[in-house]
Structure 1
Amino acid sequence: MAEQKLGNPAVVGLGGFGLATMVLQFHNVGWMGLGPVIWIGLIFGGFAQMMAGLQEMKSGNNFGYCAFTGYGCFWIALVLMFLGNHFNIYTSSTTDVGWFLVGWTMFTAILWVGAMRISNALAITFTLLLIGFILLDLAHFGYPGLTVVAGYELMVTAASAWYIMAHIVFADVFGRDVLPVGKPWF
């Protein structure tokens, strides 16, 4: 009996990460309000990405398990912080959000090292993400103008994640590598 083919949960994780990141940056550069960020961040960036991470666990992919589950939780926590500030429940100051982001910057730095052992495209994505977090850290600790710079930089990060998602989807659909991701950096 033939084994049933399973989908790769990374496509959902990368899709959710990319879309939630992109939409938040549309807000950060001033193109739109916070409403859509809340809903995309909670559902696709948060819950769907977290579910993808939990499915990565079942496939034995510790990197995907950690990254997708972790960043799914990031999105849920971020959205709840936005809602808490809006409804004046456990409010977070700009500095509080800055320290929250510093923690995620450190988390990202660990995954950045791992990404360099997987593929060029993933290393680029995590390099861009790390730069974006550092810019947001600085924005929350006295350089608010960097939020817009981070916004544009993180749009490139989101597009990079979508490139990897498209690589996986197209390889399955076309039966060959249509969008190469390149060799690991080391």
Structure 2
Amino acid sequence: MSEQILVSNNNTQQKMGNPAVAGLGGFGLATLVLQFHNLGWMGLGPVIWIGLIFGGLAQMVAGLQEMKTGNNFGYCAFTGYGAFWISLVLMLLGNQFDIYPASTTDIGWFMVGWTLFTAILWVGAMRISSALAIVFTLLLIGFVLLDLAHFGYPEMTVVAAYELMLTALSAWYVMAHIVFADVFGRDVLPVGKPWLGA
């Protein structure tokens, strides 16, 4: 009898949290705060620290946890954008302290690379849900606007800032969908059907 109980207890799996909530939370907050800075509402200090810790480190951890679940999309997105935030912050610090400084054009090409990376994930997002497709559509547009801003159209920085604020809020919507579905036990915030079928 005791052996049966032991086997039963060993087969019981503990509920695991969804790492996407931390990844989406960090992505959204870091993106939002950077746009506050780009609009001149605040200094660069909070961008550095949030970018390193929540936008960078937390997203990287979320991505590594997604790997364990077998979710290649989440693994790629969260580790990728976590690395984006860490490298962006280090680039800003490098410019501040004249360590491998990057020109406006250098940063522009950096952004072009991330635009192409985002385009791949954008296609994948359209196979997951409408809400996630909206996040990546807005993010892709934001990167294109930043590309233009770094290659001769600096006025696009302000346009990109407002557009990327929408991106951040849409990411938080998906985060809230996951959190609320768990705590309420039902789908409170719908995310819609995928844009692309099988």
**CA distance in structure 1 between the partners assigned to 2:17 and 2:96 by the alignment:** 38
Counterparts of 1:97-116 in structure 2, within 5 Å, are 97-116=107-126
Partner of residue 140, structure 1 = 150
- Per the normalisation by structure 1, the TM-score is 0.99
CA-to-partner distance for each residue in 1:80-115, whole Å, 9 max, x for gaps? 000000000000000000000000000000000000
**CA distance in structure 2 between the partners assigned to 1:83 and 1:3 by the alignment:** 45
Counterparts of 1:40-51 in structure 2, within 5 Å, are 40-51=50-61
After superposition, the CA RMSD in angstroms is 0.4
Counterparts of 1:146-165 in structure 2, within 5 Å, are 146-165=156-175
Q: CA deviation at 1:30?
A: 1.1
Counterparts of 1:82-121 in structure 2, within 5 Å, are 82-121=92-131
**Structure 2: segments with no counterpart, 5+ residues:** 1-8
**CA distance in structure 2 between the partners assigned to 1:126 and 1:172 by the alignment:** 24
Q: CA deviation at 1:159?
A: 0.1
1:8 corresponds to 2:11? no
**CA distance in structure 1 between the partners assigned to 2:41 and 2:119 by the alignment:** 29
Partner of residue 69, structure 2 = 59
Q: Between Structure 1 and Structure 2, how many residues are aligned?
A: 186
The alignment partner of 1:184 has SS state of coil
The alignment partner of 1:143 has SS state of coil
What residue identity is the alignment partner of 1:27? H
Q: 4+ residue runs of structure 1 moved beyond 6 angstroms?
A: none
**Structure 1: segments with no counterpart, 5+ residues:** none
1:19 corresponds to 2:29? yes
Greater C-alpha Rg: 2
**CA distance in structure 2 between the partners assigned to 1:13 and 1:97 by the alignment:** 24
- Per the normalisation by structure 2, the TM-score is 0.93
